Amino acid sequence: SQTIHQWPATLVQPVGSPLSLECTVEGTSNPNLYWYRQAAGRGLQLLFYSVGIGQISSEVPQNLSASRPQDRQFILSSKKLLLSDSGFYLCAWSGRQGRSYNEQFFGPGTRLTVL
């Protein structure tokens, strides 16, 4: 079976500090990978998605970047965090064997607080 991991689960960072959030998927190959941000009590904002190693599509120009160094690893980064970067960051994957790439499965999320 497939599982998706995100770490850390929670993070408190000062304004101006760097950020690195990691997401890995187990039990599948060639998944599509996605990063979403969810502000408190708000909807899901797609930040980046990737259909393969080194292939990143950015949906919202902002203070963040994403990389996919390995097939099942997706990293979200920032060089200098802003207060507005606070939120719940969710990684998702799709492409379960025999199923459509439309079916997305979300990870447990990382709660980021920027002070």
The site for another protein (CB under 8 A) is made up of 32, 34, 41-44, 46, 49, 51, 59, 90, 92, 100-109, 111
CA–CA distance, 87 with 33 (Å, rounded to integer):
19
CA–CA distance, 87 with 114 (Å, rounded to integer):
9
Give whichever of 15 and 66 is closer to another protein, judged by the CB atom. 66
Give whichever of 26 and 59 is closer to another protein, judged by the CB atom. 59
In whole angstroms, the minimum distance from the beta carbon of 48 to another protein comes to: 10
In whole angstroms, the minimum distance from the beta carbon of 109 to another protein comes to: 5
In whole angstroms, the minimum distance from the beta carbon of 14 to another protein comes to: 23
Provide DSSP, 58-89: ESS-SS-EEEEEETTEEEEEESS--GGG-EEE
Give whichever of 29 and 102 is closer to another protein, judged by the CB atom. 102
Pick from 43, 113, 47, 44: which is nearest to 85 by CA?
113
Burial per residue of 68-87, b for 16 or more beta-carbon CB atoms within 10 angstroms, e otherwise? beeebebbbebeebeeebbb
Give whichever of 14 and 97 is closer to another protein, judged by the CB atom. 97
